[in-house]
Chain A
């Protein structure tokens, strides 16, 4: 049930990623100020956007689980958040590389988006410890869903508060002389974003299928044990 479409998605992501890499390396021009290194932007921004999207999706599936009580919704929420945490870590890492390349420091505080992302990441890092600290599987799923909802509501507030605290927005921007993103970069960014979304969906589906199969295996084993 879950595995259908997985092969198609995998191939699609692979193709998209390859195209994106090609565009990044060969098509997008070098930035006027930052040279070649700025190209990590094409990795960093999609990572950030997809991670945030994953957190929101986790919250939505959390709401669904609370309303329906179905384990499938909880599993989807768990996988979405779990993948987003990994992507979040990658976002922070690529953000730091970009900061170092642009400004010479590994971390800059006057960068509200990165700071807000750090706080959100810190919060979501508690997701798995919270789950593992609850033994009853039903309660674990329910509490995780509540957490996903609370954390999901927290994300916009966090970004807003941090942004207000910054006098000026100085996220290293990738701009040309006219102050906007040149067409070639826009295209590359969009393709990279699309590739990242596909990658996320593939990993998501893959992990769900794997978990589902394991759950089915456990059920079969239990039935066999009872039967014998």
Chain B
């Protein structure tokens, strides 16, 4: 079976599982909305703009992503999915791409709902001007989170304290994404109207994606073999 075919088979299976159990995406979305409410009270502000607005959004997305990362390999671990995959005559890296694509899909789905909710609940300035820039940033960021998240999930799933290891590892590793995302989004949420997006943060995100994509490709096999 070709790698692309295996990735497709894994992805279909995981999407079907998610649609049936609805475990990850609704939880991530609900968590995001709750976090918005918590920020409203924690910061004692009813509207946010500029870098504060950017920060709250990206921090919330980061924590929602950690939830998704935690669940990524649970079905494999508990229902023997690793063995089933390892027995198939396919490249082990197919699992990396399939899970990364899955996490990317989850993040995109959550953001499609969470960003509008955020605009309604907390965002002061109108979001429409910010949207193209924000969408581009989110795509790049989701790719980075997807790859690094899959790596961390695969590392953590075989350990005893999975729920603890995932956030401990993921938060520092994903910090550059939050830095880049927040710094780049802050001008987009400027109270007087969206200012242009600083291009160098796109470069930072792109570089992050490429470097960790390569690292993931190089080391993922070692996490699955025995």
Query: B-contacting residues of A (Cβ < 8 Å)?
Result: 66, 119-120, 122-123, 126, 129-130, 133-135, 139, 142-143, 145-147, 149-150, 153-154, 157-158, 160-162, 164-165
Contacts and interface: CB of A to CB of B under 8 A. Distances in A.
B172 A119 contact: yes
B160 A146 contact: no
B215 A153 contact: yes
B201 interface: yes
Dominant SS among interface residues on chain B: helix
B160 A150 contact: no
A165 B222 CA distance: 34
Given A66-B219, A158-B176, 20 more contacts: A119-B172, A122-B172, A126-B169, A126-B172, A130-B169, A133-B165, A142-B225, A143-B155, A145-B222, A146-B151, A146-B155, A149-B215, A149-B219, A153-B215, A157-B208, A160-B176, A160-B207, A161-B208, A164-B200, A165-B179
Interface of B: 151, 155, 158-161, 164-165, 168-169, 171-173, 175-176, 179-180, 183, 200-201, 204, 207-208, 211-212, 215, 218-219, 222-223, 225-226
Given A119-B175, A133-B161, A153-B212, A164 B204 contact: yes
Given A126-B169, A158-B175, A149 B158 contact: no
Given A130-B165, A149-B218, A165 B211 contact: no
B226 to A, nearest CB: 7
Nearest to B225: A142
B179 A150 contact: no
Contacts of B155: 130, 143, 146-147
A30 B201 CA distance: 41
Contacts of A119: 172, 175
A146 B219 contact: yes
Contact of A66 (B164, B171, B222): B222
Contacts of B171: 122
